[in-house]
Structure 1
């Protein structure tokens, strides 16, 4: 038997192994090239590795359609599942539906110049925007971290999980930081559970001190200056002593420990005395007298014809709604406005009222009951009226169940407004009170503000600490946003009420419970 040459056999084996190895390397390289190309086709890899990658959740786009232009030179990632969610809302005749349509138009405009929407197109801020596609069949084969994620959140059909899965892929295939931006607190917790960096949408959040400090600012003056202010009703201070005080801000001029007087900084840079009547007079009804300094400042702002927007913070029982309604009736009966309009968010502005029975007034009554309570209190016949006047009032009312304000509502002098139908309106010469304004989103608040025509006054009252809307908080709701963005304007004023006047029980409950 002839034995093969050992050297030749070794050479043949080596050549065969080399060919096999070479073929394997080529196959692996080709697979890597294909995978990398597919990854880019799915929008998983950023155009550059320098800037951050921000993944936007659906609620951020619905909250602020303008957010697409607020991330400067970073990379914006829009998961395809977000587009599917937006599509569900675009048909709604509500603020949310309008925002969804606006986002669709903006994305169409931004992607119009791009050949491949998953490779990224430039934004005005110097960054890019791209769509990210999560394809389980491909992505799960080309990801090591995705397997662990799916063991924690196995439901692939849930949209939140698909958005998180896309974020996991982005984090795995990009060296630059990947940040999920969402206003959904549960989504934030899920993201942190799988080690995804996430944050709330911060563009419309105000400084915490703006909603935590309820104390009126004090301005130190000399006793002689305070005496001059008491005599003339005006006081001019040099700029360094009134810096950081905005127009129409209410302050306490303080001389020593006990001598104080409230004042307002007017548009000419002068501190002026409050101009308020002793009581707010309601014809044939009860008069309202301010019970504390905060209510006096609020009445001064509400009765000032130069101020067309008043914002007011106050916890339950401080009288913010009652004082606003009393001032509105006072001004209406003095013919400074054509009527009084009152409204309140129905949890969120987009909710429809058609499922409730009755007319619009009947539908809104459960939500506006605090307003009706204030009208009942203020417009009930005064006990000081004579018997003849009371009898005449009773005859005019007719039905014993009628309320003193029913006729005014029928004549349109007092108007009940549903916010979900306010788009497109122009509201002239009305005293417009919006109660519970902290339930609005900034976009909804903007819609209300831009409805006001010449001669109208808008009053936004609420408690930033009481939030029922799941997509706003004490620092990002429409009430604090409006105050923050418009403060310092000559036509705006803000008042904070801190002292409860409803009852000792209500005050103790608000403070201690």
Structure 2
């Protein structure tokens, strides 16, 4: 049976909280109450500062779950420890009795001890050992206790949100670092039609550029944005150089035996080979050549860097940790790293015997290293070409952590498909790669290219489009 006092606060079907604007609306007569799930804290340890003047409730079960994440070097462990320090700095008796002020202009935070299961929760969820049900029970009872206030369970677990709504408790995702409109996300490229043929001619005569002011565009150009210039049966590939304020021609150049097959791959390789661009992101569906182009470009620039590092996050299949897999640590990790070795094999195949031995020698001399991303954490990367594959499975905080590890002379390339998320608590709006693109757009040190044309094979491209 649904609680009528909880039920009357339910929003109409199909509606959704208005993100920050609704959460931070100071005109509300009564402050709202947000009950936080464990995964919200593990996603962002500073989350309690994102709810404005409203109050926050932490179920005791959340603290118990956080305790299991205190040890380790992953971002989850960092967030668990950081949140524990934050609570400790606020620790007073009132933390369990009425709440403690978080700071100026913010609400209070309190910890709720476990309670006997409400009859409505017991009737619908029989597994009382499940932590989610204990968190749900606390949220439900807080909503009953404060029937005159809006109480919302905040969780990144879609199943728990559905369970909460089923018993009349409002629930929403944590959206502080969500990308607002994924369909309008910066692609890094554009097509300019009806360009003066004389300007296009300048792309093919020294110095292969012209002042950006001579190109008429509807919206301002973004630093390192790539263009296809078209006009009277002529066209040219170009890029906007913000520092010199010129439109420069982009050449189609091979890299370690790999030649770009379309304009997008040409742009991607140009960004990778541009020494003035220190951060690159490449997005696109499977088979568009993101990782292959990144690796080929890194090998072409190998003399400029002390080391080439390739890494990818380990997202366990079927929610099983790699500890369930047989064998030693190398045997456990090899299946996850195999796609990177496959791309390396493609490049080796494209070389003659001499170049092929060069690639093998780079691996043998530890100049080219392929490792799980977790092995990279905590290191300071100096004069390194660092490629992170499957970056859509990283959180915004993890992306930030990786970039802040970049020392002098380091270049970082992120590749991934923002619509193919394997992480259980991320989606196309909340993953770190989407967040990176939205926040870094317009920076001189950054370039982005979204690849749309599959080049793996005709069959693969057909499957990617239709299935």
TM-score computed with the length of structure 1 as normaliser: 0.77
Aligned to 1:336: 304
Aligned to 1:345: 313
- Asked if the contact 2:95–2:111 (Cα under 8 Å) also holds between the matched residues in 1, the reply is no
| d(CA) in 2 for partners of 1:293, 1:172 | 59
Whether 1:236 aligns to 2:212 is: yes
Whether 1:273 aligns to 2:248 is: yes
- Would the alpha carbon gap of residues 464 and 151 (structure 1) be closer, same or farther in structure 2, given more than 3 Å must change? same
**SS of residue paired to 1:417:** strand
| d(CA) in 2 for partners of 1:239, 1:80 | 61
Cα-to-partner distance string for 1:226-274 (whole Å, 9 max, x where unaligned): 4445544133228994645422122333446x54433222233724224
Aligned to 1:160: 132
Aligned to 1:106: 86
Aligned to 2:3: none
Cα-to-partner distance string for 1:416-444 (whole Å, 9 max, x where unaligned): 23321322211111111111111112222
Aligned to 1:136: 115
Greater Cα radius of gyration, structure 1 or 2: 1
Paired residues for 1:346-385 under 5 Å: 346-347=314-315, 357=327, 360=330, 363-380=332-349, 382=351
Cα-to-partner distance string for 1:66-108 (whole Å, 9 max, x where unaligned): 2111111111111111111111111234221121111111111
Please, what is the CA RMSD of the aligned residues? Answer: 2.9
| d(CA) in 2 for partners of 1:218, 1:314 | 18
Residue among 180, 190, 195 paired with 1:207: 180
Give the drift of 1:461: 0.4
Cα-to-partner distance string for 1:363-403 (whole Å, 9 max, x where unaligned): 543212222122212123746x7xxx79xx8xxx7xxxxxx
**SS of residue paired to 1:475:** coil
Paired residues for 1:439-478 under 5 Å: 439-478=393-432
- Asked if the contact 2:238–2:247 (Cα under 8 Å) also holds between the matched residues in 1, the reply is yes
Residue among 150, 161, 174 paired with 1:177: 150
- Asked if the contact 2:186–2:437 (Cα under 8 Å) also holds between the matched residues in 1, the reply is no
- Asked if the contact 1:132–1:166 (Cα under 8 Å) also holds between the matched residues in 2, the reply is no
- Would the alpha carbon gap of residues 150 and 369 (structure 1) be closer, same or farther in structure 2, given more than 3 Å must change? same
- Would the alpha carbon gap of residues 458 and 171 (structure 1) be closer, same or farther in structure 2, given more than 3 Å must change? same
- Would the alpha carbon gap of residues 156 and 379 (structure 1) be closer, same or farther in structure 2, given more than 3 Å must change? closer
**SS of residue paired to 1:55:** strand
| d(CA) in 1 for partners of 2:346, 2:231 | 39
Residue among 260, 275, 283 paired with 1:313: 283
- Would the alpha carbon gap of residues 353 and 379 (structure 1) be closer, same or farther in structure 2, given more than 3 Å must change? farther
| d(CA) in 2 for partners of 1:213, 1:310 | 13
Whether 1:197 aligns to 2:179 is: no
| d(CA) in 2 for partners of 1:52, 1:125 | 17
Aligned to 1:149: 121
Residue among 259, 264, 267 paired with 1:289: 259
| d(CA) in 2 for partners of 1:211, 1:108 | 41
| d(CA) in 1 for partners of 2:261, 2:395 | 32
- Asked if the contact 1:134–1:162 (Cα under 8 Å) also holds between the matched residues in 2, the reply is no
- Asked if the contact 2:94–2:110 (Cα under 8 Å) also holds between the matched residues in 1, the reply is no
| d(CA) in 2 for partners of 1:322, 1:266 | 25
TM-score computed with the length of structure 2 as normaliser: 0.84
| d(CA) in 2 for partners of 1:243, 1:425 | 41
- Asked if the contact 1:274–1:300 (Cα under 8 Å) also holds between the matched residues in 2, the reply is no
Give the drift of 1:169: 1.8
Give the drift of 1:340: 1.4
* Bigger mean CA deviation after superposition, 486-495 or 302-311: 486-495
- Would the alpha carbon gap of residues 188 and 239 (structure 1) be closer, same or farther in structure 2, given more than 3 Å must change? farther
- Asked if the contact 2:191–2:228 (Cα under 8 Å) also holds between the matched residues in 1, the reply is yes
- Would the alpha carbon gap of residues 123 and 251 (structure 1) be closer, same or farther in structure 2, given more than 3 Å must change? farther
Structure 2, unaligned runs of 5 or more: 1-27
Give the drift of 1:210: 4.8
